[in-house]
Structure 1
Amino acid sequence: MDVAPTVQRLPAPGGRVGPLWVVTRGEGRPLVLLHGNGEDHHVFDRMVEPLGAGRLLVGLDSRSHGRSPRGAGPLRIAAMADDVAAVLDRLGLAHADVLGFSDGGNVALELAVRHPDRVDRLVVVGANLFPEGLTMRALVEVQLAHAVVASVARLVPPLRGPAERLALMVDDPSIDPADLALVTAPTLVVVGERDVVRPEHTRLIVDALPDARLAVVPRAGHMLPVCAPDRLAALVVDFLAQAPAR
């Protein structure tokens, strides 16, 4: 697949492409990297070398994260998915493989539902379809953190951004499992054995997708790109080598 020249001009630290901050590395088949809540594209730094062999890595900072602006309208996972499609348009990429972690996995699922023709192969790591997909402990911790930060943010304006980002985990995503039938991409669903996503919820995602396989990383928690980057990268590389591409 031909890559638009614009893509090659965004080495670290990157640059603004449409609604988002983007950084690229390498050449070849594009792999879009979508980070989790409160993070930026650097969460994948320890995976760049193994993932980048023969690929064009496209790291994005989601809206209101990293160097990307807040943008207009509600801060929602669905809007973030549309942002990714807009960036692909600006880069001249008709479609790409996509790797999303945590909220980035939720964004990736929304992207594959809303824009199925843009996603060739999909890897989602620690994703959930709705907040109740988290373990009770994780959900309560997020709700309490949001309540505290949102309360203080009324008096401390700089905390409004963090409060809004925490609200994403309290109120979002909102993906109907039936809508996953719209996903046309072969999908790898990855979780840690001790993930904050309930095992039965992960199974719901796998069963609802038309072409999905599950990988559970033993003795690992949620933060796989940071705490188990080699194991996660190996899973991703193996899947992309085996799954059929357009």
Structure 2
Amino acid sequence: MSYADVGGLSLYFEEHGSGPGQPLVLLHGGLGAGEMFAPLLPALGERRRVILVDLQGHGRTADIDRPLRPELMADDIAALLGHLGLARADVLGYSFGADVALCTAFRHPDLVRRLVVISTPCKRDGWFPEVVAQMDRMTAAAAEPMKQSPPYELYTRLAPRVEDWPQLIGKIAELKNRDYDWTAEVKAITAPTLLVFADADAVRPAHVVEFFGLLGGGLHHPGWDGAGRAATRLAVLPDTTHDTVLASPSLTAAVLPFLDAAPGS
């Protein structure tokens, strides 16, 4: 359990496991913390060095005077890898953390060996319309009623300054009201990428197919021996939702073979 001074932020991180595989950075969802990956750590740590991060304003990382932006947090992750003396790492993110993982691959392509993106679209209208409508309705005023929610319980247990909760909700609301479209950036990703979605996700299935195609997946028949298959992989986990996908036993079964695959496969 340590802190790294990066970009004006005192970034909390933990290291687990000592397996021989490439180091793996795990990035949690919005209003979460690195500990949400606890169920995955035994399997992941057996194979590699795992680095859990609490993103800006989340978990044990205190907020600073800047907006919540996945692009800025991607720079934090790049700086953390430099702090740890790591030239490259695999990066896995869930939901908001997957946005940060994507931006890390966009902005620091030389640092990302393999990329795992779980349950997030690459543009705002990739969410179901009712999800976008919920984002549009979110305001800083939600801070008080949300004190009855599990995210607040987590926040009160971990946050250095519990009184920053309204500030965090205000920043989340401002972020969720912003439009974005990373189509061009996704097309330029060079790291082999695994997209993971729940079969009842908050992301539209049509967008899942679009996202996969932007990365070169599913555009043509790969041949009888699979030789023409793209470097992108797609996993849709059965009997899961956006909120339960991390707890699925199918997740590590999809992620580990992808991370451990030989170069070019």
TM-score, with length taken from structure 1: 0.85
Pick the structure with greater CA Rg.
2
The equivalent of 2:257 in structure 1 is 238
Aligned-pair distance for 1:225?
4.9
The corresponding residue for 2:206 is 200
Alignment partner, residue 166 of structure 2: 159
Aligned to 2:192: 186
Q: Distance in 2 between matches of 1:70 and 1:31?
A: 24
What secondary structure, in the 3-state scheme, does the structure 2 residue paired with 1:39 have?
Answer: coil
Distance 1:196 1:23, change over 3 A: same
Q: 1:123 to 1:240 in 2, by over 3 A?
A: same
Structure 1 gaps of 5+ residues are 1-13
1:180–1:92: structure 2 CA closer, same or farther, 3 Å change rule?
same
* Aligned sequence identity (%): 36
1:158–1:68 distance in 2 versus 1, CA, 3 Å: closer
Which residue number in structure 2 is paired with residue 42 of structure 1?
Answer: 35
Change (3 A) 1:144 1:95: same
Match of 2:125 in 1: 132
Asked if the contact 2:24–2:51 (Cα under 8 Å) also holds between the matched residues in 1, the reply is yes
Question: 1: distance between equivalents of 2:241 and 2:145?
Answer: 30
Matches within 5 A, 1:62-211: 62-146=55-139, 148-149=141-142, 158-171=165-178, 174-210=180-216, 211=231
Q: Secondary structure at the match of 2:167?
A: helix
2:91 is paired with a residue of what secondary structure?
Answer: strand
Q: Measure, in 2, the Cα distance between the counterparts of 1:193 and 1:152.
A: 30
Q: Who is 2:2 aligned against?
A: 15
The offset of 1:151, in angstroms, is: 9.9
Q: Note the C-alpha offset of 1:226.
A: 4.1
Q: In structure 2, list runs of 5 or more residues that go unmatched.
A: 147-162, 217-230
CA contact (8 A) 1:128 1:202 kept: yes
Shift of 1:141: 2.1
Question: What amino acid does structure 1 have at the position aligned with 2:14?
Answer: V
- 1:133 partner letter: G
Per-residue deviation, 1:72:
3.6
Cα-Cα RMSD: 2.4
Matched residue type, 1:91: L
* Range with greater deviation from structure 2 (73-82 or 235-244): 235-244
SS at match of 1:197: coil
- For residue 36 of structure 1, what is the amino acid of its counterpart? G
User: The residue matched to 1:193 in structure 2 has which SS?
Assistant: strand
